[in-house]
Amino acid sequence: MTKTPSPLKSIRLYCLSCVCGSSEEVKRCSIKDCPLWSYRFGKNPFRTKREYTEEQKEAMRSRLAEVRKTQAKNND
């Protein structure tokens, strides 16, 4: 069973096939009216980075510590 690539990775593969497999040519692509042009590097350029408050960060730290403690306990 083969793993299906994500839509963004599929776009990247399509762009590579469009320029005969050259990643340098993908960088230099001049077809800006292509609907996939913004996504040609396999990333969404319009996605914003999520900002966390200190309370959210602390909650994530404590959840991670609990998971690690549980996993260590199960491995013993």
pLDDT of res. 4: 87
Domains of the chain, by residue range, sit at 7-43+52-75
pLDDT, residue 55, reads 97
* pLDDT beyond 80 at 76: no
3-state secondary structure of 3: coil
- HSE (side-chain half, CA atoms, 13 Å) at 62: 6
**What digits encode the pLDDT tens for the residues 5-57?**
899 999 999 999 999 999 999 999 999 999 999 999 999 999 999 999 999 99
Instruction: Average the pLDDT over 67-76 and give the result.
Output: 89
What is the residue type of 11?
I
- Four-CA torsion 60, 56, 59, 74, nearest 10 degrees: -10
pLDDT grade for 2, boundaries at 50, 70 and 90: confident
In whole angstroms, give the CA distance from residue 61 to residue 69.
12
